[in-house]
Amino acid sequence: MTRALGAFACVLALACASGSAQRKRADSIAAEIQTAREQGGETCAPRELATAEANLRFAQLEIERGDSRSADSHLALAAPAARQAATKSRDCAKLNVVVREKPAEPSVPRVGVRDTDGDGVPDVDDLCPDVPGPPERRGCPLFTDRDGDGVSDDIDRCPERAGPKENFGCPWPDRDGDTVADKDDRCPDEPGPVDNQGCPWKSVLIVVRRDRIELKQQIHFQPNRAIILSDSFDVLRQVAQAVKDAQGVPVRIEGHTDNVGKRKENLKLSQQRADAVKEYLVREGVETAQLTAVGYGPKRPIASNATRAGRTLNRRVEFRIEERKK
């Protein structure tokens, strides 16, 4: 275990070091790009400048995501392009070559070639056919953001659909269309509300009384163990929500068994099952301070242990609502 933890710490340290080195490299490239701009790079080296800027922005996004391999590949493209832009713009300045912008001439479209925005880039080659932009930007203006998601079109992988920066401007996948992204959706193939983590509300399985939470189905465990079966998750989620809604109200979780077997073992099992239920509710967001767990074993039967049906009823978990402490 110690060796594994040490290895993990080593990997984590290497990842941190890599990220720090990549940020320094990105800052250096950004400084070179700024120098090229100040020397007239947009006029003297527009293609190199655009390549450097686009790849630098991709690299910065990958660094934030922790994808060092992709970040390195973009930095490898950005660095030489930035150097070339700086060199070309410097030489341009030394020769005192000033390229004056000619007045815009009316666009004369070639026969059979469509150019909707009249920027001189045919629609077939234009990434932004409805918005004019220079040829070096493939017909897109500088840093437009058509979908308004804060990710500029030059690096937005979904420029027509809004999405977070962490996903390169694309919306997170949502297979069931319930507005809860698959990465956060506990039921990604079944639509459900946001407040139920993308899962549909099932039928009402509990009733909240003045002194208890009444269950319409029992909590089921593996035989003679304190492992909750999955068919009880829905009812426990509803219990959790009810307890969370009653902020600060203390709830006692009671574990009960039948009288089959040794009394001491039954007491121990009932306590373990009550503890397992408490742990589940805490994982669902219930405050630990609201819950206590008590195992009563076979002490409080609600039916006769002489019949199989009676023993089944006696093996149960109950939720008692207690008075607030003053």
Nearest to 45 by CA among 100, 90, 95: 90
Sign of the C-alpha dihedral computed for residues 177, 179, 181 and 184 taken in this order: negative
Whether the per-residue pLDDT at 232 is higher than 90: the answer is yes
| Amino acid in position 220 | H
Report if pTM > 0.85. no
Q: Report the alpha-carbon angle 215-216-222, nearest 5.
A: 75
Strand order through the sheet with 251-256: 206-208, 212-215, 316-321, 251-256, 291-297
Give the rounded percent of residues in the chain with a pLDDT score beyond 70.
Answer: 86
Mean pLDDT of the region 119-141: 80
pLDDT digits (tens, 9 = 90+) for 133-179: 788 777 776 667 788 887 877 778 888 888 888 788 888 888 888 88
Give the pLDDT confidence score for residue 149 in this predicted structure.
Answer: 85
Whether the per-residue pLDDT at 101 is higher than 80: the answer is no
Alpha carbon separation from 31 to 47, 56, 83, 249 (Å, rounded): 18, 11, 10, 58
Mean pLDDT of the region 261-278: 97
What is the pLDDT of the chain when averaged over all its residues?
83
Q: Which of 108-112, 126-130, 181-185, 215-219 has the lowest mean pLDDT?
A: 108-112
| Token code pair at residue 56 | 């630098």
Whether the per-residue pLDDT at 4 is higher than 50: the answer is no
